Structure formats: C-alpha cells, structure tokens
Amino acid sequence: MINEIEAKRLLITNKHPSSWFGVKYYLNIYRGCMHGCIYCDTRSECYHIDDFDTSISVKTNAIQLLRKELSRKRYRETIGFGSASDPYVPIEKKYELTKQALEVIKEFRFPLFLLTKSNLVIRDTEILSQINTQNYACVAFTITTADDTLAKTIEPHAPLPSERFKAMGILSVMGIRAGVVIMPTLPYLTDNEENIVNIVKHAKIAGASFVYPSFSVTLRDRQRTYFYNHINEELRKKYINRYKNYYHCTSPQYKKLKSAFITSCKTYDISGEMPSYARENSAAQLKLFE
Ligand code: SF4
C-alpha cells in the first residue's frame, strides 16, 4: 500500500558526520522501503514503522521542505540519501521525488552522498554529473554478495548485484565517484573470503573507485525476529548461540575477511576507503599553500 503524507521537516542533522560517510544532513523522501532485505535495520522499533513490509509512505511535500531548509543553511555540507530507506525504490519511477530533490541540491550547490541498491539511479546521471562538476557527488551501491541467486533470497525485491555493478560502471564513465559499500556482512551466510574477493573484483571490473566494508551485522528487537524468521533452523541456532541478544554481531571470520579485503584491494588496485567531500576539500585547500 502506498500512503501519501506531509512531513513536518526533512533534513536530519548528523552530529557525527564521520559515523555515516561524512554526511552532515541526511534525508529520506520515502518512509519505509520496498526492497525487502531480510536483515534491514529499519524494521527496528526505534523507527516506529509498524507496517514496514506492507506499505510505504511518500513525503509529497519533500521538495518544498528541502528548498526551505537548504535556504537556511549557512554552510554547504554533505547531504546524504539512503540512511533508512532506498531513495530509488520502485515507486520513485512514478513520483520522481528523489530526482527533484537532486535538482534542488544542484541549485543550492551542496555536496552529495547517495547510497542505493537500485540501478534506477542511472536515470539521474545527468543531474548527478552536474552536481559533481560544480561541487561533489558520490554514489555508493550496497552490495552484500556478488551472487545474484543468493541476493534474490536475502534482498528479494532489490535489483540484482549484477545490475548494480552495471549502473556503477555507467556513473564511473561519467566521472562520478561510484563504488561499493559491503554492508552488512552476514555471519555464516556471506562472510566468506571468496565473496569479499568477488565483490572487490566485480567492483574493479565495473570501474568503481572504492569499496568500503563492514564485517558485521546489527540485530535488535523486531528486526532480529524478522531476520530469524527468514533463515533456516540450523543457521538460527548458530546465531542464537553465538550472539544471544547482542546488537553488534561481528563475523567470526573477521580477521580472515579483513586480510582478504586488503589483499584484494591491492591486487585489483582499488581504494578500500570511503571518499569524503570534507577530506577532499581540505586536501584541495592545503594544496593552495604548497
Ligand atoms: S534497501 Fe536498505 S532500506 Fe531498503 S529494505 Fe534493503 S536495507 Fe532496508
């Protein structure tokens, strides 16, 4: 079910930009998501979205709010999409609110970070390229497995990883920073070295400029219940035995995965760090004094 709602405000200030990819202000045009990832954190109680898997809300006044809120900002700091919902859920094809929001960000000349699992983002390549030319744009694709078949099980309604890699290639050719966020890594499911190396390899082939990993998953309250209901008994028992009620569930293979990641980044000559507007900007300023 699709609900059209009016939001009171749009931009949320992130007090610790380094905790979420250098983003100072983040926004979600859609409340809820349609991609159905079985591990999605937005099912957690703190988001207060009781019907996460059956409906999605569209903030129909998002563009007016964004314009008003950006006009009040004194400094141009990074705006981020994709924290609690995917900005390119299938209904974005009809509503085009993410596209319109990008136009506003372009108009106000803010730097941009966008996180998605959808190849629909390439519809907006031209605007992204303009934001990038005038200031800064970075598009990260969440990829948890390079295996399309496994992805269909754990991210049932999201475009396939192979489609995301293709989209990444198109953005890269346009000179936009594009890469991969491996997040989450699911213990006993995607936490094998082969998977990590495959993601890095496919990212390089696609033309990505970075891959950034996390070798863990977070689990809590009803999100954990949903996840456990979508894995088999044997796996569920392994999780319960190892993680009990822990929120941060780090892969038991952490050291091996980290080592495989570092080695494969070297092999494929690709950065294992997340790019950031603040870092690039201060590096550029320092150059002025060289
Ligand atoms: S794409 Fe992101 S927000 Fe949407 S269901 Fe998957 S993890 Fe959740």
What is the mean pLDDT of the segment spanning 221-245?
A: 97
What is the mean pLDDT of the segment spanning 241-265?
A: 98
273: CA distance to ligand 1 center in Å?
Answer: 22
Q: Tell me what pLDDT residue 126 has.
A: 98
* pLDDT 10s digits, 124-172: 999 999 999 999 999 999 999 999 999 999 999 999 999 999 999 999 9
Alpha carbon dihedral 50, 52, 58, 61, in 10-degree steps, equals: 40
Q: Tell me what pLDDT residue 229 has.
A: 98
Q: Tell me what pLDDT residue 150 has.
A: 98
pLDDT category at 19 given cuts 50, 70, 90 is confident
Evaluate if residue 73 carries a pLDDT over 90. yes
Pocket of ligand 1 (CB under 6 A): 33, 35-37, 40, 42, 85-86, 117, 158
Query: 238 is written with which tokens?
Result: 């392994």
User: End-to-end distance of the chain based on CA atoms, in angstroms?
Assistant: 57
31: CA distance to ligand 1 center in Å?
Answer: 11
Evaluate if residue 188 carries a pLDDT over 70. yes
- Containing structural domain, residue 94: 2-287
Alpha carbon dihedral 237, 242, 245, 250, in 10-degree steps, equals: -120
42: CA distance to ligand 1 center in Å?
Answer: 7
Q: Is the peptide bond before 184 cis (omega within 30 degrees of 0)?
A: yes
- 283: CB partners within 8 A, 6+ apart: none
Low-confidence winner among 74-83, 186-195, 213-222 (lowest mean pLDDT): 74-83
Cβ atoms of 188 and 235 within 8 Å: the answer is yes
CATH number at residue 9: 3.80.30.30
Q: Best of 39, 44, 85 to mutate for ligand 1, by most ligand atoms within 8 A of CB? A: 85
Number of domains in the chain: 1
- Cα–Cα dist 233/55, whole Å: 28
